Amino acid sequence: MKKISHTKLEACRFSPKAWALSQVSGGGFATFGYKQALANAINVLHRVESFQAASEKLEDFIDRHFTNPKKIAQVRDQLIEYAAWYSKAGIVIADSNVTINYPSQGMWHLGGIVARVDVTDLGYRAILFEAFDNNWKNQLRMPLIQLAIAEQYGRPPGEVYVGFQDLDGNSAVEGKFGDVKRKAAIAEFLSIGNIVQEILPPT
């Protein structure tokens, strides 16, 4: 079985062979970074509804991992800004820091973390904590994440929205994909997987 994080899918989509070869050569290992620390602190905020607990979690990460004063100040400010937004937003959260595994069957899977899953009047909304641009709907991962969340939470895909929230400014976008685009995304994802698995043996 092979799994690729949704954050790596566009690079793999551009050149599946190159991505697969990078895994053979030992590439692709990421270190624990500021964004991960912030996401984990926000997860604490969602779970226990306490800014103090979230701040303490962030400070623990800072003490153990980080030394850059400018980036430390930035991530502290982002947590404060997010907590202020969250206290006013009135959103209902089903889950946070959700690990996806799609499809649940087969040898080639999309993995990674969805930062937050909200309950809305229209269904569920899966949010990634990332900067975004006007091209976000063309990313292959987005309809696949829509399908992954639908499968994981037992919802019809048409009732699941996907999008981004940029923690630098708390701006956000969201949308959903119809049946035709979802089926095309699955077909392309499986095709990429066939190329990757020719190079990477099953584990």
Domain parsing of the chain, residue ranges: 2-9+92-199, 34-89
The H or E element containing residue 78 is helix 69-89
Q: Give the model's confidence band at 142: pLDDT under 50 very low, under 70 low, under 90 confident, else very high.
A: very high
> What predicted TM-score, i.e. pTM, was given to this entire model?
0.92
Name the amino acid, one letter, at 16. P
Q: Give the model's confidence band at 49: pLDDT under 50 very low, under 70 low, under 90 confident, else very high.
A: very high
28, pLDDT greater than 60: no
Please give the average per-residue pLDDT across 108-119, as a whole number: 96
Share of the chain above pLDDT 90, in %: 81
- What's the confidence (pLDDT) of residue 22? 87
**What distance in Å separates the CA atoms of residue 31 and residue 203, rounded to the nearest whole number?**
23
Question: Which tokens belong to 193?
Answer: 């997987």
170, pLDDT greater than 90: no
**What distance in Å separates the CA atoms of residue 90 and residue 77, rounded to the nearest whole number?**
21
The closest alpha carbon to 150, from 201, 96, 84, 102, belongs to 102
What are the φ/ψ torsions at residue 93 (nearest 5 degrees)?
-105, 125
- What's the confidence (pLDDT) of residue 123? 94
Tell me the longest C-alpha to C-alpha distance in the chain: 50
